[in-house]
Amino acid sequence: MSQSCSRATRRSGRSRSRKVGYVHNGPFIKAKGGEALPLPADLTKEDAIIALFKKTVETFGRLDVLVNNAGIATHRNTEDITLDYWNEALAINITAPFLCAREAVRIMKAQQPRGGRIVNIGSVSAKTPRPDSLPYTVTKFGLQGMTHQLTMDGRKHNIVSSIIHPGATLSSFSTRRGRTKAGYGEKPGDDYIMAAEDVAKVAVLMAALPEEVNLYEATILPNSMRSFIGRG
């Protein structure tokens, strides 16, 4: 997803006035004429997240957009969920976005001109959960609430927060299930899977709007996704 955001940003032209830091996509961005600062970080560690944001500001002077995209999926019967399994999901899906958002707010409220954008990547599971996915579902509902609170609290600092709820999208999760490319699968009855670039375009739209405007929430999904919109 982060590489897709960088591609979409370059195509939109927005990155001409923005210097960006991505963990995995430095070579791609530099090849396209942009500036990048690859910063691998363990998002379960508070000090690593603080250092990541500190280095970003030291390098580029400010922070304009944060996309909270890190996350893990879960699939286990509720009665078989251990506390460690539960805490692992919360650490990545809720605590890490909170810590990143907190550091972003600290920077964005202090810089001149002040303000910025926070875009959280949620899931349609915050609206229509999958079976046997309790930790994942809880964290995505929580991320919706976090976005709402950040929107309210960020207004006084000119910070805009939004959330995207993607449906079936090509990812490491779908790859582990044997789906290695976007589109319809090779097997009869395989559903359509979106490309990450489709979701990234929505994130770029959110970030590119005038600072007075907030596309607060967007749900993007394959039109054929009956598990989200359908009957029976």
Instruction: Please tell me which residue in 22, 85, 136, 184 is annotated as part of the active site.
Output: 136
Catalytic residue list contains 136: yes
- Sheet arrangement for strand 159-166: 65-68, 116-121, 159-166, 217-220
What is the 3 state secondary structure string of the chain? CHHHHHHHHHHHCHHHHCCECCCCCHHHHHHCCCCECCCCCCCCCHHHHHHHHHHHHHHHCCCCEEEECCCCCCCCCHHHCCHHHHHHHHHHHHHHHHHHHHHHHHHHHHCCCCCEEEEEECCHHHCCCCCCCHHHHHHHHHHHHHHHHHHHHHHHHCEEEEEEEECCECCHHHHHCCCCCCEECCCCCCCEEECHHHHHHHHHHHHHCCCCCCCCEEEECCCCCCCCCCCC
The residues assigned a catalytic role are 136
